[in-house]
Amino acid sequence: MRRLRTTACLILSGLVLAACSGSDAIDLSQNGPGQSSSQTGATGASMSREAAAAIASARVHFAAAVGTPAEALQPLQDGLNERAREIGLSIETAENATLVVNGYFSTVAEDGGTLIIYVWDVTDKAGNRLHRLQGQHRVSNTSGGWEAVDPATIKRIGERTIDELAGWLSRSKA
């Protein structure tokens, strides 16, 4: 029953959030595009040359994180930027990007904790959705809202997002 409720919440949140259009830009270009020193993934294992080339050729712009409070944006940006730099993914301005990523977040009280549900839509510059990344992360605080979510958790979501995006890029040769 718990898994059914979680799945239903995730699907419902995804549908609701997919209809949202964010207007707040996440400025992820603070360290400059393409400034990376390694071609390794989250586990430190070397990537294949093809995967590394696909990731290096992508120019990504993170346009929005709808549903996140202001205090969650900095740790999210930190996680996205740091992981992107580690793997050689270029975060660009909107003008220079070939891919645009919009995020949608919500929190739900569930089983004595808080469930963070997130969806990232990857589109081309024309707005055609190419891929969707989605996930959830549970924290043990009982509040059910953003006040239960610490900065380290949001940073991990950013890191995980980049890892999943890089995995898709390397598989799709985008």
* pLDDT tens-digit map of 5-52: 444 444 444 433 333 333 334 554 443 333 333 333 443 445 677 777
2-172 CATH choice from 3.30.1360, 3.30.70, 3.30.160, 1.10.3470:
3.30.160
Angstrom CA distances, 78 to 30, 70, 98, 147, 150, stand at 10, 14, 22, 19, 14
Spans in the chain with pLDDT lower than 50 = 4-25, 28-45, 174
SS3 172: helix
pTM: 0.73
- Contact in structure between 157 and 163 (CB atoms under 8 Å): no
Domain locations along the chain: 2-172
